[in-house]
Amino acid sequence: MSVQVSRKGSEIVVVVSQTSVGAATEVEIPLGIARGRILRHKSYRTGGSGATVNPIIGLATNPAGFNIVLEEDAASFIDNSYAGGGITFSSTGSLFMRSRPDTGSDNAITTVLHISVGW
């Protein structure tokens, strides 16, 4: 599993490459900022026994309730842009993501996030 965070000015691109992913597999994304907007989210299942992914991104491990920043509908490929952006405030500077494939723990998933720094 690898997490690459690239920043240029007020723009951040995150690329998460995961293998052996199951429904509860979680990755921490260390953004290093407190405030931001997720402008685009792409997630693609590249292999494994699952048919779909149902990603959730939050402010704490096992995101739920008010800690959820974005939660997607199940699909084999997700490419969503957000007009206002998914607003996030994280005192730790990190986000937590679960790709949540529908079955198996052998899935390979690549996720790309485009984030704008600040509100």
- pLDDT for residue 106: 96
User: In Å, how far are 103, 105, 116 from 38, measured between CA atoms?
Assistant: 27, 27, 7
- pLDDT for residue 11: 96
- pLDDT for residue 83: 64
Q: Is the pLDDT of residue 86 over 80?
A: no
pLDDT tens for 104-115 read 999 999 999 999
Can you say whether residue 12 is alpha, beta or left, with left for phi > 0 and alpha for psi between -120 and 50 degrees? beta
Task: Assign 82 a pLDDT band (cuts: 50, 70, 90).
Answer: confident
Which pTM was predicted? Answer: 0.91
- pLDDT for residue 91: 86
Structure tokens at 83: 């007009």
- pLDDT for residue 104: 95
- pLDDT for residue 81: 77
Q: What is the CATH number of the domain that holds 28?
A: 2.60.120
Which domain covers residue 54, as residue numbers?
2-117
User: In Å, how far are 14, 15, 51, 95, 113 from 31, measured between CA atoms?
Assistant: 8, 12, 29, 7, 11
Structure tokens at 115: 């984030």
Mean pLDDT computed over 45-65: 92
Please name the residues in contact with 9: beta carbons below 8 A apart, sequence gap of 6 or more.
117
Q: How many domains does the chain have?
A: 1
